[in-house]
């Protein structure tokens, strides 16, 4: 589970509550590792059980009390270990391709409209990654190395989305030609 290591990664920078973590995730890695609040709180408990983080309750008078988690020495060790480890790419899944695969008996116009819908969704994601909002996050990096890494990550999304859009447009064109011939 990457969420465990995501949390270790964020806590390595500074102690945080579940609530803080949710905000950090939404602001940074949400577009390649989204997470929900309920999952974060559950995972924090698991990590505490494994002694990789430790929680301490902070009593606040004006706001609700909160539980601030800190990385333990074992947690930091586990983080570095995972970061250095070569990861196996999990199998690729695309329900859209499954749909397309079984569409052989469908009217080509429906297939085209599904492809167009797919492409439009990809374009929305691309627009976000190319927006100032996403680009400005690169500037959040402190060191030159950090900036270089953020840049590379954003480029990954942009690069892949563009190529998926290209494929969709090319495929739409091909099916149009197919209709005209038949």
Q: What is the binding site for DNA (CB under 7 A)?
A: 1-3, 17-20, 23, 34-39, 41-42, 44-45, 60, 62-68, 91, 93
Q: Which does 64 bind (CB under 5 to 8 A by kind): DNA, its own copies, none?
A: DNA
Pick one of 82, 126, 134, 138: the residue that binds its own copies (CB under 8 A). 82
CB-nearer residue toward DNA: 2 or 70: 2
Pick one of 98, 127, 169, 176: the residue that binds its own copies (CB under 8 A). 98
* Contact (Cβ atoms closer than 8 angstroms) between residue 53 and residue 44: yes
Rule CB under 8 A: is residue 26 a binding residue for its own copies? no
What's the N-to-C CA distance of the chain in angstroms?
49
* Contact (Cβ atoms closer than 8 angstroms) between residue 18 and residue 41: yes
Q: Which does 156 bind (CB under 5 to 8 A by kind): DNA, its own copies, none?
A: its own copies
Residues 6+ apart with CB under 8 A from 115: 100, 168, 171, 172, 175
- 3 state DSSP class of 160: helix
């Amino acid at each position: 589970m990457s969420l465990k290591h995501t949390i270790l990664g964020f806590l390595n920078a500074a102690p945080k509550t579940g609530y803080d973590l949710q905000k950090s995730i939404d602001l940074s890695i949400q577009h390649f590792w989204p997470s929900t609040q309920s999952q974060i709180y559950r995972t924090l408990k698991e990590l505490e059980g494994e002694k990789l983080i430790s929680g301490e309750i902070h009593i606040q008078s004006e706001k609700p009390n909160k539980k601030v988690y800190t990385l333990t020495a074992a947690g930091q060790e586990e983080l570095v270990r995972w970061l250095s480890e070569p990861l196996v790419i999990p199998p690729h899944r695309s329900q859209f391709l499954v749909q397309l695969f079984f569409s052989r008996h469908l009217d080509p116009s429906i297939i085209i409209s599904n492809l167009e819908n797919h492409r439009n969704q990809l374009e929305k994601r691309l627009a976000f990654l190319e927006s100032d909002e996403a680009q400005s996050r690169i500037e959040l990096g402190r060191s030159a190395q950090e900036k270089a890494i953020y840049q590379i990550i954003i480029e990954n999304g942009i690069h892949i989305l563009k190529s998926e859009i290209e494929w969709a447009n090319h495929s739409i064109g091909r099916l149009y030609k197919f209709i005209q011939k038949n």
